[in-house]
Structures are given as C-alpha cells and as structure tokens.
Structure 1
Amino acid sequence: MTRPKPQKRATVHDIAAAAGVSRGTVSRVLNGGYVSAEARAAIEAAITEVGYVPNTAARTLKMRRSQAVGFVALEPHSLFLDDPNIGSIMLGANAALSLADHQMVSLVVESARDTERVGRYLSGGFVDGAIIVSARTHDPIIQVISTLGLPAVFVGHPPDLDRNIPFVGIDNQGSARAITERLVATGRRRIGMIAAALDRDSGIDRLSGFRDALGAAYSSELVAEVPLYDYGSGVKGMRLLLERDPSIDGVFAASDAIAAGALEALREAGRSVPGDIGLVGFDDSTWAVRCQPQLSTVHQPAKEIGSVAAQLVLRQIGGEHLTPAGQLLPTPIVWRDSA
C-alpha cells in the first residue's frame, strides 16, 4: 500500500504568488506592518486560498518569545483536581491569555522533585511568564522566579514573597472576620473553627480573622487544625471539635469543601444544621450550593482573580514595569440556610 505524501506546507512565496505582490509586502502584513488597504485585502484572501498557517516555532525562535505562560499550582494532585477554586482561577487566567493569543501551560508542584523539575522548565525559556498559585511561606519556587527575573504574578501573598513581584488576591483576614461576626450575631456562643493550610497566607489570615471576631471568646481548644482545604479534612476536623466540646454550636470552616465534610460529620453525630449548629464556609464554590442546607459563605471571585493575574503577567511581558503593590478584589458574604 502506497502511503500518501504529506501535504506541503504553504509558504510566504505561495501567498505572494497568489496575491500578486512581493514577499516583502507579505512579510510586512504577517508582522503587523503597514501596507495599502488594497494589498492587505489581496494578501488576506491569498492566505485563505493557499491555507497558510504561521510557523509558530520559527517565530518563537526569532522573537525569543514562547507565547506561553505557566500556571504553577503548588498543591497536591488530588486537591488540584477537586478544588473548584483552582479550576475557576485557571479558567479565568486561560480566558485572558487566549484573548492575547497566548497559551497556558499547567504545572502542578506537589513534591521536592516537582519543584526541581518545574524550576528547570521555567529556566529553559519555555514560558514568557508565570502565574503562581498557593505559594507557601519560604517556598523554593519563589526563589526560582526571583532569580530568573521572569514576569510573574502571585495569587495570594505569602509574607516572604519577592516584593518586586505583584500579587492579586483577597482580604482573607477581613473576610473571615466578617463572616465570623455574622455567625456570632445569630446567637451562637461556642464557636469553633476548622483551620486549614496554616503553612500559607490564606490559612494564616483566615484563622487571624476568626480570632479577631471572637476576641475574648476565642479558645484555641476550639480550633481544629487540618492540612488541606478538602472534604476529608472537614470530616476529621469536625469530629475533633465534637470530641473536644460537645456543646459547640457554631463552626467556621476555612473553605466550602471543608464545610461540606463537616456537615457529613455532623449528620453522623446526629446534629442538625442550622438547628443545633450554625455552619459557615469560605469561597462560594460549587460545594456551597451542593450541600443541604446550602452554605453561608464568603464569595471569592476566583475567575476574576485568574483573569487579573493573567493580565498583570501579560503587561509585564509587554515591557511594562508594574509597581509591586498587590491588588485585592472584593469578597461579599453570601448568606444561605446553613447558619
């Protein structure tokens, strides 16, 4: 059997011949230069006629640009797949990058080996910039980005981040304080928290906001520390709080996924929500509306965060020098039936 020969790739020569213009005129159009309206129309028609597709690889070598931005998520693989916030941030970033004709490259960092691998990748010129999600305090990725001088934006703001790199996020401390105060206003008196991710800024700030809201009523015994913003941590954390104080009547869960797990543990224990215990979460993710009752929570504008982060990276790639100050987006409380 004779295999068909691969179709020849259309070239600038083909476009020039079909349009009746010089190669130089075609090149000016392809590179954004000025030509007459008549010549441009003829060249655009010729491009369609011959089926020309730009050679991105050659263009990348010439411009020393990859037209790609890394989306670096420093999370366990399981949480990367299950956490709707990360997915929404990614979708928001991808939409903004797509409008600018840039590709997004997803890089998940779970281990020291991943850190080394991703560090090498970022150093190799495969991306023009990076969006860093969930960086922890003293995270080695921060040092890699700083050393490279790569255009970058942090989602969130670990306290030791490079102050020359901008960030976009939310006021985790103020938002946690506000929803805890709203829970207190319902008449709850023994309020605990399932606090997660205390190795990063969001977890630390949400615990600080909870402590601020309770003031003298705060008790460290009513804080169950768990590692991740996931469902399983919510189940374990809620069981621990019930063991420590069966009279607990209110719970602030550090994320909606944690609150969903806490709700399951409360059902196992025969406690009603919101009858026996008022429960609030954080994120206003799909978890919040899947639960019964639906969760009172803080709305985190995840898609907007991703979009703003991508725009900030693109501005740096374009040569703009940004002030290192961060950008915080609003986080209104969404009050539903769980409290």
Structure 2
Amino acid sequence: MGRVETNGRRKRATVKDVATEAGVSRGTVSRVLNGQPYVSDEARAAIDAAIAKVGFVPNRAARSLVMQSSQAIGLIVHEPHSLFVEDPNIGSILLGANAALSDADYQLSCLIADSQRDIDRLARYLSGGLIDGVIIVSARVGDPITRAVADLGLPAAFVGHPRDIGEAAYVAIDNRAGAREITTRLAATGRSRIGMIAAALDRDSGSDRLAGFVDALGNRFDPQLVERVPFYSYSDGQAGMRALLQRSPDIDGVFASSDAVAAGALDVLRDAGRVVPDDVGVVGFDDSSWALRCDPPLSTVHQPADELGRAAARAVLAQLRGEDPQAGGRVLECPVVWRGSA
C-alpha cells in the first residue's frame, strides 16, 4: 500500500520507497522502469514485487523529460465533427489503433481537425513534444496537417494513401478495385442506367472509388449519372439521390460511395415510391453498421477498418523502435459482400 501522511491523505510512493522495499539502489529501480538492460532477473523480480506492495505508479511526465518520450500517439482525423460521430469506420479505426497501442503500453490521443483554426492549433500542439508520433485519417492531397507532420519529422502512418506523402508509411485498401468489382456485380443484375453518388473526391478514397465505377462501366459510363457530394454522410446521400432522380428519373442502379451515403439514398428512393431492389438496385462501400441497418440489407464492399487502425499503429511503433516502415505501404483486402439491396 502507498504511504499515508498524518493528515490522512495518501502520499504518492516514490522510486526511493521501491528501492528500500526491494533492497536495491534507486539507480537499479530507474533502469528497470526505463526498460534498460544490465539488471539481474532476481533484482527485477524484487522490484516488481516492491512496486506492487508500495503502490508505486510511474510519473509519466517526469519519465518523458528523461526519455524524451511521451508514450502517446496522436490519431488525427481530418473530418467535420458531425461526420466523426456519424461514421462507424472512424470509430473502428480508433479502436483498432488503441488496441495495438495499448499492447505496447502507449496512450492514444484523439485529435479532430474540423476547421482551419483546428489545423493551426494542431500544428502548434504537434510541435510541443506531447506526442511521439501520429496516425492520420482522411488526409487530402496538399493537406496542411501532412505538411506540418513532415516539417516536424514525426513518425507517422496514414490510413489511406494520399498521392503526396512520398515514402511515408501508410495502410490502405484498393478502393478502385473494390468499386470496380461491386459496380460490375450491380451491372450484371441487368441494370442499364447506373448512376453514382460520388463523395469525398478531394481525397484518394473518393477519387479512386469514382475511377473504379468508370472502369466497370466502360463505354456505358454516362457522366450525367454521377452526382458529386462533399462527404461520406447520410445527408449527402439524400441530397445526391434527389439530384439524380430529378436529372434521370429512369435510373435503375446506384453505387453510393459509402454505406452512410447509400442509406440516405435508400430513404429518398422509398419516399419517391421506388422499390429496392425491384425498381432500383443500390450498393454501397464499407460494410459498416449502416449496411445492416438498411432495409433491405446493403450490398457493399468490406473495409477492414479495425485492422487498418491496428496496422497504422504498428507502423508508427515500428518507426519509434528505429525500424523502417514496410516499403510501399500495406494494402488490405476489401471483398464484396452481396446482400438484398441489389
């Protein structure tokens, strides 16, 4: 138990208390706490037992000053606040990253960039030495956060693959191939007027999904059947579907570039009296919780969001250990999951 002062308040146990209890020097205790070698197994066992007995909790702030390490990794999400709450993929990426970091005794610090003010504040925060590395989600080409991280030389890994990150580590899926495959499956159901609600074209995932859609349709591609919307959101799916119906009432197939977008599109189709999949086939992308909440359940592309977070965290930890990240990044599989919406 930790020591108790005369006023009844518990006093924080110190390295000296651990050393006294274990019968070793304070220097030996410090070497064990800092993961340094040249300590016998017997001394380590005695120190571990002493730590448990006196209730010692390492002071992370003091250790950071000595080790020049905060034991914290930042997860930077460049999305509006509303989408951060709505998008289950972000939550899965966060939980996957946290699990990998927890195994390595690192703390995850979640940082949201919604506005230019947020970006400026984050750049100042990153320069303060409060985190050891970063995982970046939803970066755009030319993203100021990317530039700030590069200027600071922070160990970093991207979820996704913006084209301007050079040799930085990344973990991603093949958005283009996934979009191409599910659009091909949709066309094979006999649809002749297939449109797309194309979201987030300012980042690699959105532009690659549009490219895969174009690949799949080839000469049948009609640019008038593409409605561009800003975000992977339910409300953007609603707006995109209304615009497509107004422009092309005979549309009979829709590829929505995320499950949330597809959910919004399905509700608009239902309100317009269109039966899915009889009148219009709809497919999405992500295989998130949105897909199973839809009626009928959504055909979609599976995005392994949890593993994306884990792999990105491991890439940052590898850099902190002095290892080179995997050359060319890592691309995870994203198979089609076929359900009742098409």
1:214 aligns with 217
Aligned mate of 1:171, from 169, 174, 180: 174
Aligned mate of 2:255, from 252, 256, 275: 252
- CA deviation after TM superposition for structure 1 residue 73, in Å: 0.4
Distance 2:340 2:269 in 1: 15
Distance 1:159 1:40 in 2: 48
Aligned mate of 2:241, from 238, 242, 249: 238
1:96 aligns with 100
1:158 aligns with 162
Structure-1-length-normalised TM-score: 0.96
The number of equivalent residue pairs is 336
Q: After superposition, what is the alpha-carbon deviation per residue over 1:107-158, rounded to whole angstroms, capped at 9, x for unaligned? A: 1111111110001111111111001110112111111111111100111112
AA of the residue aligned to 1:290: R
- CA deviation after TM superposition for structure 1 residue 258, in Å: 0.4
Aligned mate of 1:129, from 119, 133, 136: 133
- CA deviation after TM superposition for structure 1 residue 324, in Å: 4.8
Q: After superposition, what is the alpha-carbon deviation per residue over 1:82-117, rounded to whole angstroms, capped at 9, x for unaligned? A: 100111111101110111111111111111111100
Contact in 2 for aligned 1:89/1:302 (Cα 8 Å)? yes
Matches within 5 A, 1:188-199: 188-199=191-202
1:63 aligns with 67
AA of the residue aligned to 1:91: L
Over the matched positions of the two proteins, sequence identity in percent amounts to: 64
Can you give the 5+ residue segments of structure 1 that lack an aligned partner in the other structure? none
Aligned mate of 2:280, from 271, 277, 280: 277
Contact in 2 for aligned 1:74/1:109 (Cα 8 Å)? yes
2:3 aligns with none
Moved more, 26-35 or 71-80: 26-35
- CA deviation after TM superposition for structure 1 residue 4, in Å: 4.3
Contact in 2 for aligned 1:164/1:323 (Cα 8 Å)? no
Q: After superposition, what is the alpha-carbon deviation per residue over 1:8-37, rounded to whole angstroms, capped at 9, x for unaligned? A: 211122122222333333333333334343
AA of the residue aligned to 2:218: G
Can you give the 5+ residue segments of structure 2 that lack an aligned partner in the other structure? 1-5
Structure-2-length-normalised TM-score: 0.95
Q: Which runs of 4+ in 1 moved over 4 A?
A: none
Aligned mate of 1:227, from 204, 227, 230: 230
1:72 aligns with 76
- CA deviation after TM superposition for structure 1 residue 42, in Å: 2.5
